[in-house]
Amino acid sequence: MIFVDVLAGGVRGGTAILYAALGETLAERAGVINLGTEGSMLTGALAAYAVTAGTGDPWAGVLAGACAGALLAAVHAFTVLSRGANQLATGLVVLFLGAGLTSMFGAAYVGRAISPFQPYPIPGLSRIPWAGPILFDHDPLVYASYLLAPALWWLLFRSRWGLVVRSAGERPAVLATYGHSPLLVRYLAVVGGGLLAGIGGAHLSTAYANAWFENMTAGRGFIAVALVIFAAWHPLRAVGGAYLFGAALALSPALQARGYGFNQFALDALPYLVTIAALIVLGRRQTGAAPEDLSRVFQLTPTR
């Protein structure tokens, strides 16, 4: 059924974006926006693919991708937090840095074969009509994302650690009076967000596309940043946004496989049009949920 194929493709195709969106949620909750998320995804995708090609172990590739994404995010964190650079401009520069590095070092891996992650149908659950193929017939990184989103929600809103992170994004001066370093908290949040974006890139190259090619993220990092606003900085709401984008991506091959004739360019643009439409409808309504210190970056509130 095309309905099942599109939704299953939405889960699979949206997972890379979900990892990046969850990472960006963490960073923005601490008061830092990272437009370089796309770059972290790119470096994560290449590092994961290169290590998987060299070792034959996709899990080693995921570890390498996570480290690469975190390293690039650390560049953003240092430039913004220690040197006081503009967050939006620095994020774009970091993005281009990641794109340039992956273009330079990735040429050797174009067309190279790897042993990617394979789908693992969960016994019993994968046989459930509709829900089985949609949710329980995927690779291990998809299943891990099922746990990550609620885990991050619990950490942010039900733990002392999450209170410290949110305080860094809301009232860093108050946080400092309680003996915590807002600078350190923000460093950890930004680097942790880059780590998750790197895992998203690793999923893209070692489980979704099973290939490496230049600029393979195709704007997914920017979509992840937009989804954070769409989800009102809430990890669980980001799940729906990521899968919505993934379903829009999956619609084109599902229609083509059944012989439907649609304009390919229109289908390729559909995921981005869906994201823009969601932001138009919900964006202004959700901006009030932005962390107070982050709103100054967006210029949502007047500064003095």
Which string of DSSP letters, residue by residue, matches 68-103?
HHHHHHHHHHIIIIIT---HHHHHHHHHHHHHHHHH
What's the DSSP call for residue 299?
Answer: T
> pLDDT at position 289, please?
73
Q: Could you tell me which of 204, 222, 272 has the C-alpha nearest to residue 65? A: 204
Q: What is the pTM of this model?
A: 0.93
> pLDDT at position 281, please?
73
> pLDDT at position 220, please?
94
What is the mean predicted confidence (pLDDT) over 59-65? 98
> pLDDT at position 300, please?
46
> pLDDT at position 298, please?
63
Range from 55-64, 179-188, 268-277 carrying the lowest mean pLDDT: 268-277
> pLDDT at position 230, please?
85
> pLDDT at position 296, please?
74
In whole numbers, what is the pLDDT of the chain averaged over residues? Answer: 91
What is the mean predicted confidence (pLDDT) over 92-113? 96
Three-state SS for 180? Answer: coil
What is the mean predicted confidence (pLDDT) over 87-103? 96
Q: Would the pLDDT of 118 be above 70?
A: yes
* Domain residue spans of the chain: 15-236+287-298
CB-count exposure of residue 35 (10 Å: 0-12, 13-18, 19+): buried
Range from 163-167, 264-268, 280-284 carrying the lowest mean pLDDT: 280-284
> pLDDT at position 301, please?
45
What is the mean predicted confidence (pLDDT) over 176-196? 96
Q: Using an 8 Å Cβ cutoff, are 222 and 195 in contact?
A: no
Q: Would the pLDDT of 280 be above 80?
A: no
Residues in CB range of 261: below 8 A, 6 or more apart: none
> pLDDT at position 260, please?
77
> pLDDT at position 290, please?
79
Percent of all residues in the chain with a pLDDT value above 70, rounded to a whole number: 95
What is the mean predicted confidence (pLDDT) over 16-21? 97
pLDDT digits (tens, 9 = 90+) for 207-224: 999 999 999 999 999 999
> pLDDT at position 273, please?
85
